[in-house]
A = this chain, B = another copy of it.
Amino acid sequence: MDAHMQAAIEEAQLGLQEGGIPIGSVIVHKGRVIGRGHNRRIQQGSAILHGEMDALEKAGRQPAAVYRESVLYTTLSPCSMCTGAILLYGIPKVIVGENQTFMGEEDLLRSRGVEVEVLQDSTCIEMMRDFIAKRPELWNEDIGEVAPCEH
């Protein structure tokens, strides 16, 4: 297991321990972690702090040149919001833990020249599969999906 993906998984597990949605992310610049974070929808009542967004926020204000030499690791395929943030900052490479429980905007990333590598890591898959089975209403809220009861 890549040490940076392991750190993203640890972030996701930390989020789960806090009662949150288990998605974690780290941003690595030239081999050094500059930001790490996890989904904080439940912990902070946040509509925007997905794992990747939290890692970007924790990295703080960075010059454009830093993002353009960075790699973003995320335990789950990035949704359109996180994809848009990756594109805004020109992050050239994204390592994805898995896209079996949720397929994000990988095609859009690739169409804009971002390198996307998907590991299909079993720990990531099980973590999300378990969470979605237990808390489907929270998961639907996090990805803007209308749950059956809202129809």
Query: In chain B, what residue has the closest Cβ to A68?
Result: B146
C-alpha gap A140/B105 in the complex (Å): 25
In the assembled complex, A141 has its CB within 8 A of some CB on chain B: yes
In the assembled complex, A147 has its CB within 8 A of some CB on chain B: yes
Cβ contacts A to B, 26 pairs, < 8 Å: A41-B61, A45-B60, A45-B61, A46-B57, A46-B61, A47-B56, A47-B57, A47-B60, A47-B61, A48-B48, A63-B141, A64-B141, A64-B144, A64-B146, A67-B144, A68-B146, A79-B84, A79-B88, A80-B84, A80-B87, A81-B81, A81-B88, A83-B84, A84-B84, A84-B105, A88-B144
**Interface size band for A:** 35 or more
Interface residues of A (CB under 8 A from B): 41, 45-48, 53, 56-57, 59-65, 67-68, 79-85, 87-90, 105, 140-141, 143-147, 150
C-alpha gap A88/B147 in the complex (Å): 15
Known contacts A45-B60, A48-B57, A81-B87; can you find 16 more A-B pairs with CB under 8 A?
A46-B61, A63-B146, A63-B150, A65-B150, A67-B144, A68-B146, A80-B83, A80-B85, A80-B88, A81-B84, A81-B85, A83-B84, A84-B105, A88-B143, A89-B144, A90-B144
